[in-house]
Amino acid sequence: MAKREPTPPIPAATVVVMRDVAGRPPEILMVERSRAMAFAGGAMVFPGGRVDPGDRALAALLGADDDDGAGRIAAVREAIEEAGLAPGIVPAADAATVATMRAMLHDGATIGEVLATTRATLDLDALVPFARWLPLGLQHRIFDTLFYLAEHDAAAPPATVDATENTRLVWITAAGALAEADSGRSFVIFPTRRNLERLALFGSFAEAAADARAHDVRPITPWVEDRGGIAHLCIPDDLGYPVTAQPTSAVLRA
């Protein structure tokens, strides 16, 4: 029997939308994935999804024809689709415009078509590269995911669920999201937990963005390592993460 070739990783993008709150740590927008979803069903995640051909086409048109350019565009599109927020859209979109954009995207329009119809443009610099995760050796589909930070506009329309891919959304501090997971009231997969631990270090969006710019964004591929007779899932220790290993028995990978 011929050896089955591994499925190539699927390019994807995720956006961590943060809003500063006076007197306490910033809040992060998280959504609960529908339990019917094949990947991470029921998990709390940041809005995101695969990079579409339309994202790459617009990136090429804008002269940003690389993984990062397409990733930033995909992150904006996914935020509109999944949460009804439009980070990076210029001028700032009001509720009616966001609703139009979201409906067009759900009907199959490309992000380029949406921008042309609403006479909007993109400020790709509003998305700050934060991380890139590329888990390998999994039994299910593998995503090569770029993570971006985006600052929430206080004047933006309220975030809302799409009721298709996600069933609930919350604004919550990173520490609060970890506490919810630790209590069993929600669950997060390994990359989300590591990113929440890193985000919990910051007292503002500006701090998080500064830290992101101070670290390389290179693919993070976790590996298993024996530590004191216990198998741990590990990540590099030079990318800003305060926790870089977790016993495999406690890991939720999808």
User: In order along the chain (254 residues), what is the average pLDDT of each group of 10 residues?
Assistant: 66 97 95 63 86 96 91 97 95 96 96 97 97 80 93 93 81 96 89 97 98 95 93 95 92 64
Q: Are 244 and 236 a contacting pair, CB within 8 Å?
A: yes
Closest CA to 196 of 246, 126, 121: 246
pLDDT value at residue 202:
98
pLDDT value at residue 1:
43
CATH topology of domain 10-189: Nucleoside Triphosphate Pyrophosphohydrolase (3.90.79)
Domain ranges of the chain: 10-189
pLDDT value at residue 2:
47
Closest CA to 11 of 43, 59, 44: 59
pLDDT value at residue 57:
96
Q: pTM value?
A: 0.92
**Residues contacting 44, CB < 8 A, separation 6+:** 30, 31, 32, 33, 177, 180, 181, 186, 187, 188, 192
